[in-house]
């Protein structure tokens, strides 16, 4: 429980425009892009690293939990204040502090929007590679917390492959740095440990990121199929031939129709599935790979193979892909986005399993995912006003994730574990491995005040590593 004395200290530190505590304002911070909710007792908006240090020290003095928050676009409940307390909103720490193109580096605050880094350097032919579908809104701090991916993960990797250093505040108020512009520094890789720790170990206040040169040529391909299984086989065959596109995205027929009606991107309304494939690099190599992929698609019974003829056509295809979640909102009152991973050879059979799960629960499930690395995003459509629908959607999502584990995959590829999947961690990891993860949490946050109730199981299941009690927890509904 946040005491009046703690509120008074925070208000004095940040000023009248530096915090929110009215119920109607707090209600805007009780959710992210997932389906769970819990309300903070106060939301604070630091403008500097010094503000963050002071906030953390006040929270420690009064034994209050803290949750960092970027843009709230996360999809696993990572920014939901499960134990109440203070939400630290980084929206005002949104400056690009330094751009060093000679060394291909940038230094940014955590509230910087992902796309803004690329916009700041693209005139000089550079870009920031990690590109989540929410890149026009999501922030670098949130990307670091969740180790965000994106359509171009197949070639460029995820956030951790592009973060070189961090400035961060520990739960005791200590300010620390790890990594740096140099890259490959000696010692333990604390930068890698904190990237993807979902805000449970530290609050990040500064990020050093890698910039990359734009390629000489980019080609975007749309392959159209009458059977989703043929689409899945194509992905496996591309991999078998040692061809590595920068992106391989798959949309099934249900998703295609929703996207095309919303964006008019040029997707066929009658197809069972499509692949959106992107190649980039030196002109000669790209042109050769286009023909190799054309051959693979034809062998796997693609009914049509299109290569975007202009930058505008390419951008329109990607607009359809990156606005897919918004397109779903035009059709269904609510939807639940899942995030599992399977080996590429299991994509086609897993699509069949997802279809059967939808039939079992009487729910429509559409599919859009990063097929190149087997990262599935089944989107489960439901109606919150229909009794039992939310519970059915959650059960369907869990059943799909259990299948992913059973075929050698994972419960998350880029959205994180959060509070959505933490009770499945004991199916993915042994009790010894969970003990090790818990020991890292205790090392950084012995009082369990930083984003409590996330990542590790909280008490369900036979192999749980029980977290500290979530005292004073706000209701989760």
Q: Is the dihedral of CA 127, 133, 138, 144 positive or negative?
A: negative
For CATH 3.30.43.10, list the domain ranges present in the chain: 4-89
Average pLDDT, rounded, for the chain = 93
CATH says 332-406 is which class? alpha beta
**pLDDT above 90: residue 329:** no
Put simply, whether the predicted model's pTM sits higher than 0.85 gets the answer yes
Query: What would the mean pLDDT of 57-76 be, rounded to a whole number?
Result: 97
- Structure token digits, residue 228: 């989703």
pLDDT of 183: 75
pLDDT of 60: 98
For CATH 3.30.465.10, list the domain ranges present in the chain: 96-213
CATH code: domain 96-213 is: 3.30.465.10
Tell me the per-residue pLDDT of 336-370, one tens digit each, with 9 for 90 and over. Answer: 999 999 998 899 899 999 999 999 999 999 999 99
Hey, which CATH number is domain 4-89, 3.50.50.60, 3.30.43.10, 3.30.450.20, 3.30.390.30?
3.30.43.10
Neighbouring-strand partners of residue 224:
274, 304
- Its CATH architecture, for the domain 217-321, is 2-Layer Sandwich (3.30)
Reported as a pLDDT band with limits 50, 70 and 90, residue 79 is: very high
For CATH 3.30.70.2190, list the domain ranges present in the chain: 217-321
Reported as a pLDDT band with limits 50, 70 and 90, residue 474 is: very low
Angle (deg, nearest 10), helices 311-322 and 253-263 = 120
User: Helices in 84-127 by DSSP H: which ranges?
Assistant: 114-121
CB atoms < 10 A from the CB of 334, how many?
17
DSSP 170: -
Spatial separation of the C-alpha atoms in residues 457 and 421, rounded to whole Å: 9
Name the percent of the chain lying above pLDDT 90: 89
pLDDT of 390: 95
């Amino acid at each position: 429980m946040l005491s009046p004395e703690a509120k008074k200290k925070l208000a004095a530190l940040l000023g009248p425009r530096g915090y929110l505590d009215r119920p109607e304002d707090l209600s805007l911070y009780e959710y992210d892009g997932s389906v769970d909710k819990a309300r903070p007792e106060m939301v604070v908006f630091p403008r500097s690293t010094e503000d963050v240090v002071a906030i953390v020290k006040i929270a420690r003095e009064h034994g209050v939990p803290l949750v960092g928050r970027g843009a709230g676009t996360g999809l696993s409940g990572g920014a939901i204040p499960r134990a109440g307390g203070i939400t630290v909103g980084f929206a005002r720490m949104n400056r690009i502090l330094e751009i060093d193109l000679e060394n291909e580096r940038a230094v940014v605050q955590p509230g910087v929007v992902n796309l803004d880094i690329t916009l700041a350097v693209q005139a000089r032919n550079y870009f920031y590679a990690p590109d989540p579908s929410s890149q026009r809104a999501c922030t670098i701090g949130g990307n670091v917390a969740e180790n965000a991916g994106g359509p171009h993960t197949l070639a460029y990797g995820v956030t951790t492959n592009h973060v070189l250093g961090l400035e961060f505040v520990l739960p005791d108020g200590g300010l620390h740095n790890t990594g740096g512009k140099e890259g490959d520094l000696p010692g333990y890789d604390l930068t890698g440990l904190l990237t993807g720790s979902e805000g449970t170990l530290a609050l990040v206040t500064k990020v050093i990121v890698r910039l990359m040169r734009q390629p000489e040529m980019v080609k975007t391909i749309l392959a159209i199929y009458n059977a989703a299984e043929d689409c899945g086989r194509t992905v496996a065959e591309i991999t078998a031939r040692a061809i590595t596109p920068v992106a391989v995205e798959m949309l099934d027929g249900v998703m295609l129709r929703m996207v095309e009606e919303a964006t008019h991107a040029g997707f066929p309304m009658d197809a069972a599935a499509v692949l959106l494939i992107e190649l980039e690099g030196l002109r000669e190599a790209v042109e050769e790979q286009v023909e190799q992929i054309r051959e693979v698609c034809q062998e796997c019974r693609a009914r049509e193979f299109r290569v975007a003829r202009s930058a505008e056509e390419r951008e329109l295809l990607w607009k359809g892909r990156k606005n897919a979640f918004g397109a779903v909102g035009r059709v269904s009152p609510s939807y639940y986005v899942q995030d599992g991973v399977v080996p590429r050879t299991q994509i086609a059979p897993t699509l069949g399993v997802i279809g059967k799960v939808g039939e079992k629960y009487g729910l429509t499930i559409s599919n859009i995912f990063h097929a190149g690395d087997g990262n599935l995003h089944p989107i489960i459509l439901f109606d919150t006003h229909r009794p039992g629908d939310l519970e059915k959607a959650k059960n369907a999502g869990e059943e799909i994730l259990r299948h992913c584990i059973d075929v050698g995959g994972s419960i998350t590829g880029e959205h994180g574990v959060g509070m959505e999947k933490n009770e499945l961690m004991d199916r993915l990891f042994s009790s010894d491995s969970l003990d090790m993860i818990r020991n890292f949490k205790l090392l950084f946050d012995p009082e369990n005040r930083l984003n409590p109730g996330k990542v590790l199981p909280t008490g369900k299941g036979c192999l749980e590593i029980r977290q500290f009690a979530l005292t004073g927890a706000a209701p989760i509904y």
